[in-house]
Amino acid sequence: MTRPRAIASYLMRLRWTPDDARAALTAYADSGLSVAAFAEREGLDPQRLYSWRRRFASDTAPAFVEVKTNAAERIEIVLRSGLVLRVPDSFEAESLRRLLDVLESSGSC
């Protein structure tokens, strides 16, 4: 004999609160189903799940990432050829210019 499932709060509301949406997304993740299959099982519009998932993702995405450096860091230059040149931070600027000139004139870039 199977036990009836408890009715989730997100199924009872026409408009979801963020807590309702989180509960629905957690239930979806725990179900192991595709969004379409979960939405069909729960009687939901799949787009509702997609839009809340996007909304939460955009709320948590950082606007920028801070990069901290120290004296041991390297300078990384991506050449037009796709090769990556890494030199120590202490590398002389004139030596770096000459190295880049050589690489550009050889066609390696």
What is the distance, to the nearest Å, from the Cα of residue 77 to the centroid of all Cα atoms in its chain? 24
pLDDT score at 1: 46
- Side chain identity at residue 2, one-letter code: T
Q: Is the pLDDT of residue 36 over 90?
A: yes
- 49 in Cβ contact with 24 (< 8 Å): yes
pLDDT score at 34: 92
pTM: 0.48
Max avg pLDDT among 8-22, 35-49, 51-65 = 35-49
